């Protein structure tokens, strides 16, 4: 968190200056009020012109300091929130498939929307007021130490007592804020599931049941928020009561020493500084607890995972970069899901540059096998080795930098063709042109006035299914991926388009591992090998032989 704030060093210093301006404004008000009391004590001897001038100055400074401090703060707040959003999104995008699949997509959506909004609402308001209150406390203590050392020491001890009380609430505040975040995730997930199946719910007249379920979820969420707010208010009120007790003690103490010659103006300043120390801490402690809760939210949505730190620091686990020069060997691999065996003692090899087609009946384990090869699972028995290096010793990020995935449902951004191919990376024009040519996208691009800068509609609505799929393949080529994992890449296309896209897969120099339930006569035979899954066993055969047997049968 410190690194995040300090990443905008210049603007963070401006933010601190803005906080200091509020502190100065507070002491200008104290001096002005004490000056007026001093004038009352002097009576006719008071200089009214000077009093009016001080009062006008205090009012003008208060207005100007508020405007200037806001201008100094707003840029920093905007930049930090933008950075938090970028880091949160980047964390999700850099996750391995294995880690990403541990939660539903709706949880990540809740993190990016609800949690960041919570962070924005709580963190900056709390940080600003915390800095102001701590600054006022320290400044009040130093001035009071000069006016009345005994009172300043008493106030320091009182502050220590308040600190102990506030610390008692700290961990509970953080825990309650995390509960609110978790309930937000659950509510967002349930709402998304309901909306996705809304058509079925309406056709079967089940809306009322799911409406009640959604309302129950909303009540739970609001109850969590209510508990958090009540708890925060209770700690504030408890510390407030202690603060008023201490304020009464300050008044009694000043009355006791009034006959020793202290002026009304000095007594007023001492009283305001003493009570300021108390109530500044009363404000600061709950704010600090909320800041800690906000920091925990930040760490959850955008912080670097411990495993990632290990890898970056050269930890023992997964420290070898992925390099694929010859072959990937699957040695006696068995895998089960929820105690249900999927693969049994699989043995085969994936050679660099070869094309492999995974076949099998529905539920046989085709996707599981691909996910094992794609390093999505690591809880298998046996070994998967690439050029002599065990998969479990390879950095996941290094692996995913050199592989690409092509699915039947292509997602395209509402952006240029260029950005949809490069995925916003700074790739050379030569690399982009190579990808365009390899996927036969030249005609499509030449038809557009803006060429590669042509803006696609939402998810490529202005393209045919084949064009959308070709762009997804171009992404893989432009990325210079070593391996292409294709999961039913042509199943949503008609026969003609499917044949054309299949030809593209087979013409690429990369290693291709594909799942397909379709058979394209004269094309499917061009795969090098078929990996057929039967009863948990993986049977490898040459594609020409496999399809020859199928056609004969």
Side by side, which strands form the sheet with 483-487?
403-407, 483-487, 511-515, 355-359, 529-534, 537-542
45-95 confidence digits (pLDDT tens)? 556 677 677 777 777 877 887 787 777 777 777 777 777 777 777 777 666
Q: Of 348, 367, 368, 327, whose CA–CA distance to 529 is shortest?
A: 348
315-363 confidence digits (pLDDT tens)? 445 578 888 899 999 999 999 887 788 899 999 999 999 999 999 888 8
Tell me the two tokens of residue 315: 């930890």
**Paired residues of 348 in beta bridges:** 330
The Cα–Cα gap between 155 and 451 comes to 72
* pLDDT tens per residue across all 553 residues of the chain: 666 676 666 777 777 777 777 777 777 777 777 767 666 666 655 566 776 777 777 778 778 877 877 777 777 777 777 777 777 777 776 666 667 766 766 677 677 777 777 777 777 777 777 887 888 888 888 888 887 888 888 888 887 777 777 777 767 777 787 787 777 777 777 776 666 665 565 556 666 666 677 777 778 888 888 888 888 777 777 777 877 788 788 778 777 776 666 767 777 777 777 787 777 777 777 777 777 777 777 787 776 655 554 444 444 455 788 888 999 999 999 998 877 888 999 999 999 999 999 998 888 888 889 888 988 888 889 999 999 899 888 888 788 888 888 877 777 777 788 888 887 777 888 888 888 887 778 888 888 888 888 888 766 777 877 788 788 888 877 877 888 888 877 776 677 777 887 887 888 888 999 988 888 888 888 999 999 998 889 899 998 888 876 555 4
The Cα–Cα gap between 307 and 159 comes to 40
Neighbour-count burial of 181, counting CB atoms closer than 10 A to its CB (0-12 exposed, 13-18 middle, 19+ buried): buried
Query: Phi then psi for 40, rounded to 5 degrees?
Result: -65, -40
What's the full length of the chain, in residues? 553
Using alpha carbons only, give the angle 488, 493, 496 rounded to the nearest 5 degrees.
120
CB neighbours (10 Å) of residue 437? 12
**Paired residues of 413 in beta bridges:** none
For residues 319 and 364, the answer to whether their CB atoms sit within 8 Å is no
CA 437 vs CA 36, 410, 430: distances in Å:
83, 20, 11
**Paired residues of 405 in beta bridges:** 485
The Cα–Cα gap between 300 and 26 comes to 37
CB neighbours (10 Å) of residue 8? 16
Q: Looking at residue 518, what DSSP letter applies?
A: -
């Amino acid at each position: 968190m410190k690194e995040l704030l300090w990443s905008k060093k210049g603007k963070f210093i401006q933010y601190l200056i803005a906080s200091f301006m509020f502190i100065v404004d507070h002491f200008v008000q104290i001096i002005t009020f004490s000056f007026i009391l001093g004038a009352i004590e002097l009576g006719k001897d008071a200089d009214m012109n000077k009093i009016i001038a001080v009062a006008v100055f205090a009012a003008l400074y208060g207005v100007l300091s508020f405007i200037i401090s806001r201008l100094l703060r707003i840029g920093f707040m905007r930049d930090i929130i933008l950075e938090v959003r970028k880091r949160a999104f980047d964390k999700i995008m850099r996750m391995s498939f294995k880690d990403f699949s541990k939660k539903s997509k709706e949880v990540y959506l809740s993190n990016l929307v609800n949690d960041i909004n919570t962070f924005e609402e709580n963190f900056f308001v709390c940080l600003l007021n915390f800095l102001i209150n701590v600054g006022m406390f320290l400044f009040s203590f130093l001035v009071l130490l000069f006016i009345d050392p005994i009172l300043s020491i008493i106030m320091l001890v009182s502050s220590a007592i308040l600190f102990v009380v506030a610390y008692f609430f700290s961990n509970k505040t953080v825990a309650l804020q995390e509960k609110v975040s978790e309930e937000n995730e659950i509510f967002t997930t349930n709402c998304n599931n309901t909306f996705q199946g809304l058509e079925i719910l309406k056709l079967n007249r089940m809306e009322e049941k799911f409406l009640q379920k959604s309302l129950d979820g909303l009540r739970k969420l609001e109850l969590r928020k209510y508990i958090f707010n009540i708890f925060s208010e209770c700690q504030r009120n408890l510390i407030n009561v202690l603060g008023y007790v201490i304020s009464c003690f300050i008044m009694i103490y000043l009355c006791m020493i009034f006959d020793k010659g202290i002026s009304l103006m000095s007594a007023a300043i001492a009283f305001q500084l003493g009570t300021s120390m108390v109530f500044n801490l009363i404000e600061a402690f709950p704010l600090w607890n909320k800041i800690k809760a906000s920091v925990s939210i930040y760490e959850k949505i955008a912080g670097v995972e411990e495993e990632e730190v290990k890898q970056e620091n050269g930890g023992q686990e997964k420290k070898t970069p992925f390099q694929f020069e010859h072959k990937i060997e699957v040695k006696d691999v068995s895998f089960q899901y929820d105690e249900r065996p999927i693969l049994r003692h699989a043995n085969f090899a994936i050679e660099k540059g070869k094309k492999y087609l995974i076949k099998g009946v529905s539920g046989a384990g085709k996707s599981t096998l691909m996910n094992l090869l794609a390093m999505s699972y690591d809880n298998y028995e046996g070994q998967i080795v690439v050029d002599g290096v065990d998969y479990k010793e390879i950095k996941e990020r290094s692996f995913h930098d050199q592989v690409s995935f092509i699915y039947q449902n292509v997602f395209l951004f509402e952006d240029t063709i260029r950005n949809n191919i490069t995925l916003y990376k700074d790739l050379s024009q030569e690399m982009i042109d190579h990808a365009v040519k390899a996927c036969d996208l030249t005609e499509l691009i030449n038809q557009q006035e803006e060429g590669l800068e042509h803006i696609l509609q939402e998810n490529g609505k202005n393209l045919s299914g084949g064009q959308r799929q070709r762009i997804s393949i171009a992404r893989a080529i432009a990325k210079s991926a070593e391996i292409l994992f294709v999961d039913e890449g042509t199943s949503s296309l008609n026969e003609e388009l499917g044949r054309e896209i299949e030809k593209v897969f087979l013409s690429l120099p990369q290693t291709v591992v594909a799942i397909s339930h379709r058979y394209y006569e004269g094309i499917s035979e061009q795969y090098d090998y078929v990996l057929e899954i039967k009863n948990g066993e993986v049977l490898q055969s040459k594609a020409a032989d496999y399809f020859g047997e199928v056609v004969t049968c």
